Each structure stands twice: as C-alpha cells, then as structure tokens.
C-alpha cells in the first residue's frame, strides 16, 4: 500500500486533500471529493477534536495514499465499480461487501458489452450468424495494434485471428470441443507470448512450461470464463476474499518482476514467456480477474498447493532480487560502476540490464518489427 506522504504538519483535512488532487487535475472540486467519499473511493473524515464551537474533522493516515492511487487509476478508467475494486485489492479500507458487489458488476457489464457488440455484428436476416460475428470481432482484434497484449512474435493474421476467436469464445463461456482446443492452443500461446517459456532454460534448468498446450486452455475453459469468474465471486465468502487478496498483488508484481529479470539475464525480450504480465499489470481489470482465479484455485485441492508454492517462490526469491536491483538503481552512477567493476564482464552486462529494468519500471517493446529476434 502507498505510504502516507501528505502534510507533515499534522493530520489532513479536506483542504489538504483538495490541494493534492488539484495539483494533478485542476477540475477536481470539493464536491468531487464528496462524491468519491460517498462511493467509498476515498476515506471518510473523522471527528478528531473541537475548536471552540467548531468540530475538527480530519482524515486517517492512509487517505493521502488512497487519493494518489485513485487519481492514478482514473487515468485508466472512470468506472466507480472498477475503481472501488482496484482500491480494495490494493489494501485500502473499502468495505469488502461493496468491493465484492462491484467486482461482480464489472464482470456482468463486461460480458454484456461483449454480447452487445456481437449482437451489433450479427444480422440473422442476412444470414450473418453469431459464429460469423465472433470471427469478425476476432479478426479486428488480431489486426489491431491497440490491443492490451503487445505482439510478441511474428504470426500470420489467420493464426492470430484463430487465437483471438478461441480467447473470445472461452471468455464468453462457450464450451469448445477438445479438438478445437488442440488446434488453436499453440496459436493462443504465441499471441500471449507463452511459447517462449517452452525454450527458456536459465542456467541449464528445464523450462517452466511443459506439457500439451491445450491442457492450459482446458483449465481456462473450466475456471476462467466470465460466467465462471462471476459465479466464483458471487459464491465467495468474506474469508475467501480476504485470503485471496494478498495473493493477487504478489502474483502480479512478482511474475512481472521475474519476467524483467529473465529478460535482463538472457539479453532478449520475453525470455520467460511472461512479458504479458508486465504489459497487463497496471490494468485495473486484471487484478479482479486474478482474484476470482485465485479463489477457484484455493478451493481446489490439486491447485491450492501449487498456488502456495508459487507465492512462496516469488516472495522468497524474486522480490529480494528486485529490491536489490532497485537499491542499485538508486545509487549514483559512479558507485554503481564501482560495484559492477568487481564482477566478471558477462555478469556486469546482465546487472546493467537488470538495473535499467528496475530503474524505469516500464515494459520494453515486444513488437517483433522493433525487436527483430525470434527464439
């Protein structure tokens, strides 16, 4: 969670928060803050004293951090339900029941919007079926460079279209036969960049992704469709929600950090096949989807232990390296070079790439037209 860094002279009042907000967006008013408080997007003020006949109202310590997070999230979405869910997932004091209702609403609206788009593309009077509408929408997604997932490799438009058609069908909850899953699985892996994971061997260790590609799609079909995610959140208890919440941030930040480390040590982009995590980690919708996935996994005896193992590996191995890289990145350049000079030349290059990755905290290009490599 973001630490409080508001006025150092004492507790924050409404004027302090308004000044913070207007420094980023001059159109924000005190009525805007009131709306956000009523929407549980901002902490409520508490009566903390008395000045003559006038009560004194101040905000809790986390209000400054919550306001900063809210302003940052609003650059991506203005949907109060999605904002509320994202703030709760970051650990801010949003009532859990309201956050749960918001996440369910987000999934229902997303599915309704997708179905509405397909209905617009369908025209039964002209023999234009839903299946044709799906194929048309998939082709548009495949051809566009504005999709949230970067292009990780060269791929024909036909193969990308097939992959996106499978992704859309699975997302909408359509039951695909095993043969269709097997036919499009490799194409979906390439769209997501996961195909690289089958070849990445750090220090001679075997690749982390093995087995038939369609097994992963079968799991998505079982647990990851919008109807299934909605059903999972509708049935989730407060205990399950609170238990799953810390997993979400660990997975998002940890897997993205691992991807950046792998790229730095390998010397090329998307070495681990997980670069989509870097591209998607700032999207407020992705954590909500992961939360529902985590709850489903924790309910499964077979998947629960794997979840715990991944969480432990990220916490004990990946995060310490990422923190150390950030510490090195914060050093003056002369001191950085002095420390790197003590290492073999190959390690120096790897660490320079690692320091660069964690000093910018931004994803590098994965467009093969820019990268020019394919491994």
Q: Is it the case that residue 356 has pLDDT exceeding 60? A: yes
Q: Which of 375, 363, 150, 352 is nearest to 265 (CA)?
A: 352
Q: Which of 6, 5, 35 is nearest to 19 (CA)?
A: 6
If pLDDT is split at 50, 70 and 90, which confidence band does 126 have? Answer: low
Mean pLDDT over the full length of the chain: 86
The rounded radius of gyration (Å) of the Cα atoms in the chain is 23
Neighbour tally for 121: CB within 10 Å: 16
Query: Which tokens hold the place of 124?
Result: 């039964």
State pLDDT tens for residues 309-328. 999 999 999 999 888 888 88
Long-range contacts of 37-44 (CB under 8 A, 24+ apart): 39/80, 39/83, 39/84, 40/84, 40/94, 40/95, 40/98, 41/70, 41/80, 41/83, 41/84, 41/87, 41/94, 42/17, 42/66, 42/67, 42/70, 43/92, 43/93
- HSE, CB side, 13 Å, CA atoms: give it for residue 119: 6
Place of tokens 């009131």: 34
Task: Compute φ and ψ for 119, nearest 5 degrees.
Answer: -65, -40
Phi-psi region of 51 (alpha: psi -120 to 50; beta: other; left: phi over 0): beta
Q: Give the ranges where the chain is alpha helix by DSSP (H).
A: 14-24, 30-38, 63-73, 80-89, 96-121, 130-143, 157-171, 178-192, 213-223, 226-235, 238-266, 275-280, 285-299, 301-313, 319-330, 333-340, 345-360, 368-371
pLDDT band at 37 (very low <50, low <70, confident <90, very high): very high
* 171-223 per-position pLDDT tens digit: 999 999 999 999 999 999 999 999 999 988 887 788 888 888 899 899 899 88
With beta carbons less than 8 A apart as the criterion, state whether 297 and 327 touch: no
Mean pLDDT to the nearest integer, 145-149: 77
Show the tokens assigned to 45: 């003020």
Q: What is the pTM of this model?
A: 0.83
Distance between CA 346 and CA 118 in Å, rounded? 52
* 230, burial (CB in 10 Å: exposed 0-12, middle 13-18, buried 19+): buried
List the structure tokens of 250: 């660990």
CB atoms inside a 10 Å sphere around CB 345: 9
Return d(Cα 355, Cα 345) in angstroms, integer.
Answer: 15
Is residue 86 pLDDT above 50, yes or no?
yes
pLDDT in tens, 296-313: 999 988 888 888 899 999
Q: Which of the 8 DSSP states describes residue 123?
A: B
Distance CA 134, CA 166 (A): 9
Which range, of 22-26, 112-116, 121-125, 242-246, averages the lowest pLDDT?
121-125
Query: Which residue do the tokens 């232990």 mark?
Result: 305
Burial class (CB in 10 A: 0-12, 13-18, 19+), 113: exposed
Q: Is the confidence at residue 113, as pLDDT, over 70?
A: yes
Give SS3 for 91: coil
- DSSP 8-state symbol, 59: B
Q: Closest Cα to residue 159, out of 183, 128, 194, 124?
A: 183
The Cα–Cα gap between 370 and 338 comes to: 33
Which residues are registered as beta bridge partners of 55?
Answer: 50
Q: Look at residue 2 in the predicted model and tell me its pLDDT.
A: 38
In the predicted structure, residue 331 carries a pLDDT above the cut 50:
yes
* Residue range 48-78, pLDDT digits in tens: 667 677 767 788 878 899 999 999 999 999 9
């Amino acid at each position: 969670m973001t630490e409080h860094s508001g006025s150092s002279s004492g507790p924050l009042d409404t004027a302090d928060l308004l000044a913070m907000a207007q420094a980023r967006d001059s159109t924000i008013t005190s009525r805007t803050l009131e709306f956000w408080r009523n929407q549980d997007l901002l902490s409520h003020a508490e009566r903390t004293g008395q000045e003559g006949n006038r009560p004194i109202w101040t905000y809790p310590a986390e209000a400054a951090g919550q306001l900063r997070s809210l302003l940052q999230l609003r650059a991506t979405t203005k949907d109060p339900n999605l904002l509320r869910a994202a703030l709760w997932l970051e650990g801010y004091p949003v009532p859990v029941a309201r956050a749960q209702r918001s996440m369910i609403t987000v999934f229902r609206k997303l599915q309704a919007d997708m179905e509405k788009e397909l209905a617009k593309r369908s025209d039964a009077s002209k023999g234009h079926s839903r299946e044709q509408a799906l194929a048309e929408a998939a082709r548009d997604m495949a051809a566009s460079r504005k999709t949230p997932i970067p292009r990780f490799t060269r791929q024909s438009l036909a193969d990308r279209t097939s992959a996106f058609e499978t992704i859309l069908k699975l997302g909408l909850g359509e039951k695909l036969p095993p043969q269709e899953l097997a036919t499009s699985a490799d194409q979906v892996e390439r769209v997501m960049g996961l195909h690289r994971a089958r070849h990445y061997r750090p220090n001679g260790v075997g690749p982390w992704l093995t087995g038939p590609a369609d097994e992963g799609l079968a799991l998505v079909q079982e647990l990851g469709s919008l109807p299934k995610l909605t059903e999972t959140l509708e049935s989730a208890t407060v205990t399950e929600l609170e238990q799953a919440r810390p997993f979400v941030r660990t997975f998002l930040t940890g897997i993205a950090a691992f991807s950046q480390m792998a790229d730095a040590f390998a010397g090329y982009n998307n070495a681990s096949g997980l670069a989509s995590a870097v591209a998607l980690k700032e999207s407020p919708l992705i954590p909500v989807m992961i939360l529902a996935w985590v709850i489903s996994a924790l309910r499964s005896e077979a998947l629960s232990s794997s979840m715990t193992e991944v969480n432990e590996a990220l916490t004990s191995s990946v995060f310490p390296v990422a923190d150390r890289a950030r510490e090195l990145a914060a050093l003056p350049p002369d001191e950085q070079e002095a420390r790197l000079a003590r290492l073999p030349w190959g390690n120096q290059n790897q660490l320079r790439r690692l320091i660069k990755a964690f000093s910018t905290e931004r994803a590098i290009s994965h467009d093969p037209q820019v990268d020019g490599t394919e491994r």
